[in-house]
Amino acid sequence: MHPFAYFVTSPIKIDIWSDIACPWCYIGKRHLEGGIAALGADAPDVEIEYHSYELSPDTPLDFEGSTVEYLSKAKGMPVERVEQMMQHVTNVAANAGLEYHFDKVAHTKTLKGHELLHLAKAHGKQGEMKERLLRAYFTEGGRVNRIDELIGWAVELGIDADEAREALESGRYAADVQADIAQARAYGIQGVPFFVIDGKYGISGAQPAEVFSQVLTQVAEERDGAAA
Amino acid sequence: MSERTVESTDAATPTPFTMVTGDPAAMVCDGDVCDIPTAAVE
C-alpha cells in the first residue's frame, strides 16, 4: 500500500434508490448488510446514503382496503394470483430474517415518509430511520403518510417532535425528495432497489449477499491498486 | 479476469454505471407491482 494511502482513503460510498413501500428494497437492504458482514474484518469502510423513489405516484393517500385488494383491482389480477405473489415475497423475506405481514400493510403514498428520511439524514440518522419505516410498513401496519405517526418514529430516534412536525407540515424536504426522484430518472433507473457502489458500479434488484461482497471487494482492490 | 472480478456489462444499459450482472433473477419493484418470476411462485 502506498505510504499515503491511509490519508486519502475514504469510505466506499453506497447510494441506494428505494421506496418504503417496496418489499424487495427491505430484502435488498438485508442482503447488502449480509454481504458487508460476510467480509468480516476485511470489510471496507462504507458510507450508505438512501435516495427517495416513489414506485407508485398514483397510490391513494389513504387506501382503506388491503394490499391484495389494491393490486388485484389496479392490475386486473385475480386475488388468488396476488395472494400467491405476496406469500412468495413473505417467504423470501423470512429467509432474510424479516417478518412481513401483508394483511396489515396500509397501502399508501410514501412521499411524507421520504421527507422524514431527509430530515433524519440531516440528523445523521437516515439509516436508522429507513429501517424504522420499513419495519413500520411491512411488519407493523404503520401509516407512513400520516404526520402524527411519522413524528412518533422521529421521536423514537431522538429527533425533536416539534422540529419533525414543522419540517413535515411545511414540506421542508419535499424538493429534496423530488430531486432524488429526478436524479433516478436521469440515471435511467426504472426499478428499485438500485445500488450504486463508489459512483461506478450499478446493481439492480435484491441481489444475493455474495454479489455485494464481491463488488465491495473488487472496489477495495481497485482502490488499493490505484493507491499503490 | 481474476476469480473475484465482478461480472458486468455496460451494453444496452441506459445508466452511466457499469452494471453488475449478479443474479439475473434478482427481484426488483417497478411500478406498484414487484417483478416476481412466475416460476418462483409455482
Mean pLDDT for the stretch of residues A187-197: 95
For the sheet with B8-9, list strands across it.
Answer: A46-52, A12-18, A194-197, A201-204, B18-20, B8-9
How sure is the predictor about B42, in pLDDT bands with cuts at 50, 70 and 90? very low
Closest Cβ–Cβ partner in A25, A55, A202 for B19? A202
Which of A73, A194, A203, A212 should one mutate to test binding to chain B, selecting the residue with the greatest count of B CBs within 10 A?
A203
Q: In terms of CA atoms, which chain A residue is nearest residue B28?
A: A205
How sure is the predictor about A199, in pLDDT bands with cuts at 50, 70 and 90? very high
Amino acid at A131: E
Amino acid at A196: V
User: Structure pTM?
Assistant: 0.89
> Within 10 Å of residue A198's Cβ, how many Cβ atoms?
21
Q: Is the pLDDT of residue A128 over 50?
A: yes
- All cell numbers assigned to A14: 453506497
Q: Which of B 1-42 lie inside 8 A of A, CB atoms?
A: 4-6, 8, 13-20, 22-23, 26-36, 40-41
Q: State how far residue A193 is from chain B, nearest Cα, in angstroms.
A: 6
Which pLDDT score, from 0 to 100, does residue A61 have?
Answer: 79
Q: Which of A70, A56, A44 is nearest to A214 (CA)?
A: A44
Q: Is the pLDDT of residue A2 over 90?
A: no
CA-CA distance, A32 to A201, in Å (whole number)?
14
Report the interhelical angle of A23-38 vs A79-95 (nearest 10°): 20
Q: What is the DSSP string of A152-197?
A: HHHHHTT--HHHHHHHHHHTTTHHHHHHHHHHHHHHT--SB-EEEE
- All cell numbers assigned to B36: 416476481
Q: In terms of CA atoms, which chain B residue is nearest residue A60?
A: B32
Q: How many CA atoms lie within 13 A of A162 on its CB side?
A: 0
Q: State how far residue A184 is from chain B, nearest Cα, in angstroms.
A: 9
Q: Is the pLDDT of residue B41 over 50?
A: no
Q: State how far residue A163 is from chain B, nearest Cα, in angstroms.
A: 32
Question: What ipTM was reported for this prediction?
Answer: 0.84
E strand segments, A19-175: 46-52
Which of B8, B13, B32, B36 should one mutate to test binding to chain A, selecting the residue with the greatest count of A CBs within 10 A?
B32
Which pLDDT score, from 0 to 100, does residue A24 have?
Answer: 96
CA-CA distance, A146 to A148, in Å (whole number)?
6
Size of interface A-B (CB pairs under 8 A): 105
Name the least confident of A32-46, A149-163, B15-29: B15-29
pLDDT digits (tens, 9 = 90+) for B7-25: 665 544 578 999 998 988 8
